[in-house]
Amino acid sequence: MIGGERHLLSMADLDRDDIEQLMSLTASFAEVGERSIPKVPALRGKTIAWLFYEDSTRTRLSFETAAKRLSADTMNFSVSSSSVNKGESLRDTVETITAMGVDGIVVRHRAAGAPSRVAEWVDASVINAGDGWHQHPTQSLLDLYTAREHLGDLDGKHVAIVGDIKHSRVARSNALAFATMGAQVTLVAPKTLLPTHFEGWPVNVTHNLDEVIDDLDICYLLRMQLERQADAVVPSLREFHTEFGLDVRRADRLGDALIMHPGPMNRGVEIAGEVADRPNAVITEQVANGVSVRMAVLFLLLGSGLDLVDGRRAAA
Amino acid sequence: MSADDVSRAIRRMAHEILERNHGADDVVIIGMQTGGVDLAQRLAADISTIEEAEAGSVPVGTLDATMHRDDFGLRPVMPEALTEIPVDPTGKVIVLADDVLYTGRTVRAALDAIHSYGRPRAIQLAVMVDRGHRELPIRPDYVGKNLPTRKDEIVDVNDEGVDLGDLLGEGDIT
C-alpha cells in the first residue's frame, strides 16, 4: 500500500513498516479529533463512495465521520434502495458510480474478494470495509492502534482470538495483523467454529480457553454470530458461554490484560455483561480509534500525494 | 550568524514581544513543527527570564499545519509531528514561531489550523530568518535576521547537536 499499492484490500498487503507509518499517521489524526473544530481540509474536493452490500452501522458511520473530518464529499450507495434490487451486476454498479467521478470507493460485500475485483475495474482507490469471511483491514488497524496505545510495542505479546473464528473476517485479518507486528497469536474456539485448515496462518490453535488465559496480554473476543445458530455450530449459547465466554472468573485471571471486541457485543454470550464494563475492556476506545485510523487510511490513499512520488495516477 | 548572534537575536525578539503586548499576560507561543519548536521554547524561556517569572510561565505549544496546506495533489504531503496546543487559544495572543519565513504558505496554513482550536485575540509571527519571496500578503512581526536570498538557495538552520537551533550560519547557504 505505502510502497506502491493505491488500495487497501487485505492486511496481507501491509508489512510492518507500512503499519508503523499508518500508526504514526493515525496519531496525527487522533489529535485532529480533539480540536474544538475537528475538521481539516486535507481531502477537500475528493469524493468517496460507500458501496455497502452488507449491513453495517458502525463501520459505515466510522468511515463517514472520518471522511467528513477530512472535508471529503461522500456518496452513499445503499443496496436496499438501489438498482441492485433490479438485478444490476456489481460491475455495472461500480461503473455507474465511477462515471460520476469518485476518488475512493469503500466496499463491503458478502463475497470474499469482491473489493479486489472492484479494484481491478476502476482508477479510484478501493478500501475493503469487510468482505465475506475474508478480511476487514481497517478493523485490524484500529485494533493494533488501540493495543499499542496500552501496551506499546506488540513484539512477543500474546494475543488470543476467541470465539467464532470460522465465520469471522476480523479473525483472519487480526491474526495476520498481530502476527505481522511480532505478537504471538492463539486462536481459541470449538472445532465447529474453526476453519477446516490453517495452512499459512501464523497462529497456534487450542480448544481450551482456560489453558491460555493466564498467559495473555490481549483477550480478543469475537461476536458469536447468533444468526448462525440455525447451523447448530454450538450445542447452546449457554454452553458456549461456559466453555469459551469471558465470564467474571476468567476475566479475573486476565489481570490487566486488554479485553477487546469488534462489536456489536452479545453480553452474556462471548462476554459477561459486567466484564465488558471493566477498565481493561477497551471496546469503546476501539470505536473512537476507528475514526482516526480510517482518516489515516483515506488520507494516505487519497490525499497524501504518495502516488506523485512514483508517478502513478499522475493523470488522475 | 554565530550561535551567540542567534541567542542575542532571540533575546531581542523576546523584548519586542513584551513591549508590543505590554507584558506576557495572555501570550502563548506556538512553534511550527518541526523547525520552529526550538525558537518557541527559547523565546518563552527568555521572556520568563526578562520578566523574572518562573520558568514555564509562558505556555508553549507546537503546531503541525500539514493538513491545512494548499499544495495537496501537487507534491507528497505527510504530517511531520504532533500538534500540542496547551491552552484554549480563545482570547489569547498567539505568537507563531518558525525558523525560516519564505513563501508564507506554511504560515497561511497555520493561521487556518489555529482557528480550529479557538479564536485568539491576535496572532503574531516571529521568525528566525526572513528570506523574502513571499507569495501571500503575510509579514512577520518579529524577525531574527533579514536574509536576502535567491529562490534557488537553501537556508539551513541547523543544530550541530548543541542546543537545537543554536547555529545559523550564513556560510550554510548553498
Indicate which residue of A58, A60, A207, A228 is catalytic: A58
**Total structural domains in chain A?**
2
CATH number at residue A116: 3.40.50.1370
CB contact under 8 A, A37 and B116: yes
Q: What is the pLDDT of residue B53?
A: 87
The answer to whether A40 and A70 have CB atoms below 8 angstroms apart is: yes
Do A184 and A206 meet the contact criterion of CB atoms below 8 Å apart? no
Say if residue A213 is in the same domain as residue A297.
no
Helical spans, DSSP H, in chain B:
3-21, 37-50, 105-115
- Stronger pLDDT, A55 or A289, i.e. the higher one: A289
My answer on whether A269 and A146 are in the same domain is yes
Say yes or no: A291 and A276 in one domain.
Answer: no
- Does A85 fall in a domain? yes
List the domains of chain B with CATH numbers. Answer: 3-68+82-150 (3.40.50.2020)
* A155 and A76 both lie in a single domain: no
Report residue A265 as a C-alpha cell: 457485543
Structural domain for A171, as ranges: 137-283
| A60 & A119 share domain | yes
The average confidence (pLDDT) of chain A is 90
If asked whether residues A142 and A279 sit together in one domain, one would say: yes
Determine the 3-state secondary structure of B120 from DSSP: coil
Q: Which residues of A fall within a CB distance of 8 Å from B117? A: 35-37
Q: Is the pLDDT of residue B171 over 50?
A: no
Q: In this structure, are residues A267 and A273 in contact, taking their beta carbons and an 8 Å threshold?
A: yes
Is A220 in the same domain as A263?
A: yes
Asked if residues A224 and A269 have their Cβ atoms less than 8 Å apart, the reply is: yes
Q: Who wins on pLDDT, A232 or A283?
A: A283
Q: Examine the domain organization and report whether A53 and A181 are in the same domain.
A: no
Cross-chain residue pair B67–A305, CB shorter than 8 Å: no
A46 part of a folded domain: yes
Catalytic site residue A207?
no
CA A3 to chain centre: 21
B77 and A305: CB-CB below 8 Å?
yes
pLDDT for residue B82 is more than 90 = no
Give me A288's grid cell. Answer: 473512537
pLDDT at A196 over 90: no
pLDDT band for B150, please (50, 70, 90 cuts): confident
pLDDT of A315 reads 34
Q: Using an 8 Å Cβ cutoff, are B166 and B159 in contact?
A: yes
Phi, psi at A238, each rounded to 5°: -65, -40
- Reading the block at residue A291, the C-alpha cell is 475514526
Interface size, chain A vs chain B, as Cβ–Cβ contacts under 8 Å: 56
- pLDDT(A230) > 80: no
Q: Are residues A228 and A279 in the same domain?
A: yes
pLDDT of residue A313: 38
Check if the beta carbon of residue A141 is closer than 8 Å to that of residue A115: no
Strand ranges of the sheet holding B142-146, from the earlier edge strand across to the other edge: B60-63, B27-32, B93-101, B122-130, B142-146
- Cell 482456560 identifies what position? A210
Is A39 noted as a catalytic residue in this protein? no
Q: Is residue A259 part of a domain?
A: yes
Among residues of chain A, what percentage have pLDDT more than 70?
Answer: 92
pLDDT confidence of residue A119: 95
Same domain for A127 and A145? no
Give the pLDDT of residue A3.
46
A15 interfaces chain B, CB cutoff of 8 Å: no
Q: Do B67 and A306 touch (CB under 8 A)?
A: no
Nine cell digits for residue B85: 496546543
pLDDT of the residue at A122: 94
Q: Which residue has 434502495 as its cell numbers? A: A81
What is the pLDDT confidence band of residue B153, given thresholds at 50, 70 and 90? confident
A195 in a structural domain: yes
Q: For chain A, what is the radius of gyration of the CA atoms?
A: 20
Residue A23 located in a structural domain: yes
CA distance B111 to chain A (A): 13
Nearest alpha-carbon partner for A129 in A146, A154, A147, A104:
A104
Number of alpha carbons in the 13 Å side-chain half-sphere of residue B138? 24
A112 in a structural domain: yes
A48 & A162 share domain = no
- A20 and A129 assigned to the same domain: yes
* Global pTM exceeds 0.80: yes
Cβ within 8 Å, pair A35-B64: no
Q: Write out chain A residues lying below 8 Å of B74, CB-based.
A: 305, 308
Per-residue pLDDT at A298 exceeds 90:
yes
- Which of B72, B115, B117 to mutate: most A Cβ within 10 Å? B72
pLDDT reported for residue A316: 33
- Catalytic, out of A6, A46, A69, A108: A108
Percentage, residues of chain A above pLDDT 90? 78
- A4, part of any domain: no
